[in-house]
Amino acid sequence: MRTITAYDICHIGEKLYCVCNEFNALVRYDCLKRKNEFVGRIPDEQLYAKSLFSKIIHYDDKMVFIPLFAQKIWIYDYINNEWQGIEIENPDCGDKFMQAVVCGNVVYILPYKYNKMLKLNLSNYELEYVEIDEPKCELEKKIYFRSDIVIKNNRIYAAYGSGDYVFEFDLVSEKCNWVRIGTGCSGYSGIAWDGRRFWLASRTEEKPIKVYSWDNTIYNEIEVEDYGNEFVRGIFYDDGHVFLRKNTRTIEIDINSLEVSSEDKEAYFFLKKDDIYSALTYNGKYVYYDDRKKEIDLKVSDEDVKVFFKNYVIKDDKNYFTEKGIVQENSLINLEAFLIGI
């Protein structure tokens, strides 16, 4: 069996869908059969492309795939097995988007390293570009917003990754505002809400790690002993505790006592959809909570991988190697898989 990873999971009935990060494949987990299976690949994207999408949105009988490294926004009709691509400006930009918010029949797609916010109408797939007049930034490569945001009172709150600001976007008026916190932080990894106040985490490698609670007026600073030179990759609130995600561990803060603890395990990628809390780990586990805690291994059989590569290399990628050149061997694409379609 081979482990795969993903940035998002889409629940549809007894099926779970994801696009694996290791290569271009849509994978479906059947909760009744307890098995992962390949559905197919995303059109127009190379079979060996990695980390194509950051988010999956379920709307009617379709899934909307938000691009991270993919060239387009993709719509998948899972009833009729049909794909539709929506072209965007600057398709070669990497790390495009990490979060999207649905409001009625509109999806607002927040930039990570892309330079605009997108507004996608789900009724007719018309796409609009929303300019963001961001604060001055001294960084050569700007980072806008990571995946951990807050939606409260019809507003999006997103922590700026390149400066001491929080971005507010009104979903009704579509007006935006930048609020300076005053911490002097050079950028945040995310924002969380505990019902009374916001929590922000610095994303730099400075020691100690700094976490801030903020009530829209004043902030308090908490220093957390560092556990290695790693960026804080996000922040999440649940049941009286704030969690910080790092590469090798999860740091937990009790919001009342401010007691800090740490678990020596791979960082979680936290998700919340339809009041279901879940977590993705970098070692291929998907943990989610509905009526009870469930854990799924994102694994595919060696034979299924061979068949998948054979079908798509022969059918769609016969010119891949002459056009793109060398493909690096890794844990999923080994020499045997590479030679199947040659």
Show the CA angle centred on residue 97, arms to residues 94 and 100, nearest 5°: 165
Distance (Å, whole) CA 33 – CA 15: 10
According to the model, what pLDDT value does residue 308 have? Answer: 85
Q: How many CA atoms lie within 13 A of 263 on its CB side?
A: 10
Q: How does pLDDT run across 299-342, given as a tens digit for each residue?
A: 888 888 888 887 776 555 555 555 555 555 555 555 665 555 45
Question: Could you report the per-residue pLDDT of 123-182, keeping only the tens digit for each?
Answer: 999 999 998 877 766 555 678 899 899 999 999 999 999 889 999 999 999 999 999 998
pLDDT tens digits, 243-253: 887 767 788 89
If you ran DSSP here, which 8-state letter would residue 124 be given? T
- Which residues, 6+ apart, have CB-to-CB distance to 148 below 8 Å? 159, 189, 190, 191, 192, 234, 235, 236, 270
pLDDT (tens digit per residue) in 92-132: 999 999 999 999 999 999 999 998 999 999 999 999 999 88
Q: What value does the mean pLDDT take over residues 51-64?
A: 95
- Of 268 and 197, the structure prediction assigns the larger pLDDT to 197
What type of residue is 23? F
Q: Return the pLDDT at 63.
A: 97
Q: Helix, strand, coil % (nearest 5) of the chain?
A: 5, 45, 45
- The Cα-based distances of 5 to 25, 37, 93, 95, 246 in angstroms read 11, 14, 22, 17, 17
pLDDT at 173: 93
Tokens matching residue 17: 């869908």
DSSP 318: T
pLDDT in the model for residue 154: 94
Direct distance between the N- and C-terminal alpha carbons of the chain, in angstroms, rounded to an integer: 24
The tokens describing 100, both together, are 């999207």
